[in-house]
Amino acid sequence: MAPRSFWKGYLKLSLVTCRVSMTPAVSESGKVRFHNLNRKTHNRVMSQYVDAVTGEAVEDEDQVKGYAKGEDDYVLIEDEEFDDVGLESTRTIDLSTFVPVESIGWIWYDRPHYLAPDDEVSAEAFAVIREAMAKTGTAGIARLVMYRRERAVLLIPKDKGIVVWTLRYGDEVRDADSYFHDVGKEKPSSQHLTMMKKLIGERTARWDPSMADDPVQDRLLDIIAARKKGKKVKKPAEPKQEAPSNVIDIMSALKKSLAAERKAPR
C-alpha cells in the first residue's frame, strides 16, 4: 500500500491547474531505532527543555523562536508569523521558470518527493505538464512552503509522475573553486589514462539498489535477534587493513591492479 501523502495542493502552469498530492520519496521508517534508558531501572529517559538561567522546565506552549539582535536581546517570532511568510506558495506550485535538467548540479539537490495527480479529473492536465517537460528536457522551478519555510523546488518528470526536489539555499552551497583551484594543473599521460579507464571498465556494473545496503543495520538486527534468545554475540574480527602508501610508480601500480582484476573471480 502506498504511503499517505503529507501535502496536497495544486500544480499550476499559466492557466492550466490540477490537484496534486506529494509524498516523501525516501523513508527511514525501516531503520533500527533505540530508546535511551536508565541502566538501573530500564525506564525510558525523557528529554526536556529547561530555562538556561532558572533551570526550570519550560512547557511547549511557553516556547517561542527568537532571533538574537544583541547579547540577551531577542526578536520574538510566533508560529503564526512563520505560517504567514510565503502564504501564496503554501498550497500552489506555480511553475513560472524552466531550466535544462542537466544545468543544475547535484549539489543543489536536497530532499526528493513524489508528486502525482490527486484525482482522475486532474490526471490529464498533470500528464500534459509532465510530458511537455520530458519532451523538452526541462525541469520546472517554483517556490513552495515546506517544512515550515518557503523553499525553491525543482520539478523533474519521472516515469508517470514528477519528482519534486527541495533545493538547498544559496548560502548553504560553498563555492567549489575555493577548494579545487589548485587541483588539476597536472595532466595525466595518455598511457596512464588508458590503463585507468580499463581498470574502471573492469569494475563497472549496472546499478543495483543492493549497492546502497546498510551492513550496520543488518548487523544490529542480528545482535537484537541473538539477545532475544539470550545468546551472547561475538565481536566480529576486525579486517586487516594495510596502510596506504604514496604511489610513486603509477604505471607499476596500474599493471598490478589490472592483473589482480583479471584473476579475481566473477
DSSP per-residue codes, 112-149 = EEEEEESSHHHHHHHHHHHHHHHHHTEEEEEEEEETTE
Q: Which pLDDT belongs to residue 120? A: 92
The answer, as to whether pTM is greater than 0.75, is no
- pLDDT given for residue 244 in this prediction: 58
pLDDT tens, residue by residue, 53-98: 999 999 988 998 888 888 888 888 877 766 555 555 578 999 989 9
Task: For residue 92, give every residue at least 6 positions away whose Cβ sits within 8 Å of its Cβ, in sequence order, or none.
Answer: 9, 10, 11, 12
Location of C-alpha cell 501564496: 88
The rounded distance, in Å, linking the Cα atoms of 180 and 184 is 8
> What pLDDT, on the 0 to 100 scale, is given for residue 40?
92
Tell me, what DSSP letter sits at residue 261?
H
CA 208 to CA 162: how far, in whole Å?
22
What mean pLDDT is predicted for residues 130-138? Answer: 95
pLDDT digits (tens, 9 = 90+) for 206-263: 888 787 777 777 777 777 787 777 777 777 666 666 655 555 577 787 788 888 877 7
Could you count the other beta carbons within 10 Å of the beta carbon of residue 49?
A: 11
What is the per-residue pLDDT across 174-209, written as a single tens digit (0 to 9) for each? 888 888 877 767 778 888 888 888 888 888 888 887
